[in-house]
Amino acid sequence: MIKKLSRLTSFTETEIKIFIFVLVMLSIGLGLKYYSSTHEQLVKKFSYAKEDSLFAYFNNLELDTSVAENESFLTNKKSFVAKNKEQIPYVKKSFSGKLNLNTASVEQLATLPGIGEKTAGNIYAYRNRVGKIKSLDELLNIKGIGEKKISKLKDFLTLK
């Protein structure tokens, strides 16, 4: 059949095969697009708002503040979060006192600002591997922790 098409047209057999392949792939793609648009319940929806608590807060908030107030918010994010943390969903609630790095569980470590479950697990695994952590600088050996993060965490941690 391809040889007959090749003789009837000025295309080679390889060109006809490529053309047929492109048409088949295009048809499959359009079919999948149509199917997914008619069956929306099968498409998994993901909300990035839960990943960024301030985004979630402002996504549901009608803002009619001036540009100057918005600029003030951007420069004073920490103070804004501190004042409004009860109203903002997903903001980690701060704990009182300091967390002992050598006895804290993964769940407790994950409550620290800037530390998620993965990094908390890395800290826990490192502590189990090397024993008692003697200095906060040892955290530099853990993937996901740098000097900047250590400087933010030092007020929340103790090594007693």
Q: What is the residue-wise DSSP string for 50-115?
A: GTSHHHHHHHT------HHHHHHHHHTHHHHHHHHTTTSTTPPPP-SS-EETTT--HHHHTTSTT-
d(CA 116, CA 122): 10
Q: Which tokens sit at 23?
A: 């048409």
Tell me: the pLDDT tens digits for 27-57? 999 998 888 777 766 556 655 555 555 555 5
Q: Which tokens sit at 111?
A: 């409550």
Residues pairing with 157 in the sheet? 99
Superfamily for domain range 99-158? Photosystem II 12 kDa extrinsic protein (1.10.150.320)
Which residues have C-beta within 8 Å of that of residue 117, sequence separation ≥ 6?
A: 106, 110
Provide the pLDDT for residue 63. Answer: 44
d(CA 3, CA 42): 43
Q: Which tokens sit at 101?
A: 């790095």
Where along the chain do its domains lie? 2-42, 48-84, 99-158
Tell me: pLDDT of 96 over 60.
no
> Where does the pLDDT of residue 67 fall: very low under 50, low under 70, confident under 90, or very high at 90 and above?
very low
Q: State how far the alpha carbon of 89 is from the alpha carbons of 8, 54, 82, 85, 92, in Å.
A: 68, 8, 13, 8, 9
pTM for the model stands at 0.43
